[in-house]
Each structure stands twice: as C-alpha cells, then as structure tokens.
Structure 1
Amino acid sequence: MNYEIDTAKALKSFLSFKLADKTFALEVEKVIEIIEVPKITSIPKAPAHMKGVINLRGQVLPLIDTCVKFGLPAIEPDLNTCIIVIDLLLKEKTIRFGAMVSQVLEVLEKEEDHIHASPSIEANYNLEFVKGIIKENEDFIVVLDIDKTFSVEEVKLMKNANEKKTETSKTK
C-alpha cells in the first residue's frame, strides 16, 4: 500500500488594516463585518479613544478610534476609513464593538510558523496586545491579540455606553 502523508500546514486568516501609516492585522474569526463610517454620537466624559456609539441596524455599537487607542493621532475620516465590527471575548461574555481604522487592506492567509514572536520588538505599543509579527515582503505587520487590547474597565465602559444609549432611545 502506498500512503501519502499530508504535510500541509494549517493556515490562519488575518484581516490587515492601516492605522495612520502602520499596518496591523487581527484574526479573521474575530471580525463580524466591515462597514462604512456612519453618523457617530459622542459619549460625554468618555476616554479619548472612545469615539462614541453608532447605530448598526438598530443595535447600539460602541466605537473605538483605534489610532488613539495605540497612541497615534486621531483618525480624520475619509473615503478609506472603515469600521471593523469585532466580537471581544471577556470572561465568557462576548462584547461587540466597532474599531475605526484608517483603511482595510486585505485578508492574509499565513501558516502558523510565519507568525513570529514579538518579545524583542521595540515599538510604541504595549506588547501585551501583540500576538506576533508577520513579515510580508519587506514590511512587518503587527498581529493584535484583540482580546487583550482592551482592559476590563474599557469593556465595561463600552457596555455601559451601549446600555445607556439603548435606554435613552427607549424613553424617546
């Protein structure tokens, strides 16, 4: 008998995007959808990166300016600006929010051994948010660990903003 051994390695899919002039990616399985920037309602006394909330088909969705979250200048929306709708897992609960990015690029398919560890990287980012680095041609793409990107307090703020906005719209 002649058996062939399947040596193909498992591929992972990542959505790449720009924040200012820097390229990042996150696992596609976290992405629910990508939308254009609608009208944004600001939340008083929210942190600078909490852009506000948006209406997503009747659902109130907290919106984060991802550039500000990572210490970059705030996004000035243009034709390339998008919102990545993401599910964040926190203590066995899923929180849905929008992450505003400068531009969505493409979906990358990479073998796991093409994702390099990040401990020695010197960057302006808190490395606990970094899952790894992908080398694409001569460029590096920072892969975010989206579940660690936001603190418990920030997630509570997003959840509270969602609940307050929902309550306000119910009383009108």
Structure 2
Amino acid sequence: MQMILFKMNDKQYLISAAAVEEVVDTVQITKVPLAPVWVKGLINFRGTVLTVISLAELVGLPQSQTNRNIMIMRKDDEQRGLLIDEVIEVLDVAPDEIQLGEEQATPYFTGVVTLEDQQTIADVIDVTDKIFS
C-alpha cells in the first residue's frame, strides 16, 4: 500500500495515501473561537472552506513551529486539512512491514515501519475517523 512519509517535530511518520487527496503549502489560517486546541482554524481552499487540524496536537505531541505543508484529507464528500512540518516522499509499504508494539497502544498510532534506506523508523498514524467525526 502507498503511504506518505512526513516529518513532524523532527520525527518521521507514515499515513495511508488512500485518504490523502493532495499536499499544499501552508496558507493563511483564520482562527475559530472556542474550537478544540487541535483545530487551528479555517482556510479557503479553491473556493471551499476547510477546517485545518494540527496533527501534532491532535495526537498529543508538542506543537511544531515549522508547519510547511497541509495534507488535504478526504472521506466521502468531506475534506479536512492536516497541518504537518513537511512531506518527505511517497513509499510503497507492504502490510507485513508494519510492526506492532506496546507503545502504539493509543488510538492514533497503529505501528512502526523500519526504513532501511534512511536507517530510521517511522510511526504509522491513522486519524481519519477522529478528524471526520
């Protein structure tokens, strides 16, 4: 399956490319009063108003200071933007390459993948159900 490798707080993460429509550069975000802390605000995306969510804050990580990209996520007819540091590349990951560990016992982290060519590991994240609820 295709997964998008991206960086957040100097750590690498993977998310399924199936739910990602496209990746755009960060634009002006309009704050929304009384929204949850992880909702950064709204953007005008090609004439459509989209909610932008800080992925770091949603999954309980420190807020990043270098958000350069927004991943436009789609589920059915709805879209949301995920604020991240930057996309690195799109990878093909076999399901058996995803290793489960006890530290992934949160609803968002579903496993880890060892990236041999980069000599590092990346956490696999799935937040689709949360951001579209």
Task: Give me the whole-angstrom Cα distance separating, in 2, the residues matched to 1:134 and 1:117.
Answer: 9
Q: How does 1:1-172 map to 2 (within 5 A)?
A: 12-77=1-66, 81-88=68-75, 93-118=76-101, 120-121=102-103, 127-137=106-116, 138-148=119-129, 150=130, 155=132
Greater than 4 Å deviation, 4+ residue runs = none
Task: Give me the whole-angstrom Cα distance separating, in 1, the residues matched to 2:97 and 2:66.
Answer: 33
Task: Give me the whole-angstrom Cα distance separating, in 2, the residues matched to 1:28 and 1:65.
Answer: 18
Task: List runs of 5+ in structure 2 lacking aligned partners.
Answer: none
TM-score (norm 2): 0.87
Give me the identity figure in percent: 26
Task: List runs of 5+ in structure 1 lacking aligned partners.
Answer: 1-11, 157-172
Question: Residue 146 of structure 1: CA displacement?
Answer: 2.6
Relative to its length, the structure with more helix (as a share) is 1
TM-score (norm 1): 0.69
For 1:22, the aligned partner's letter is K
Which one has a bigger Cα radius of gyration? 1
For 1:36, the aligned partner's letter is D
* Backbone CA RMSD of aligned residues: 1.9
Relative to its length, the structure with more strand (as a share) is 2
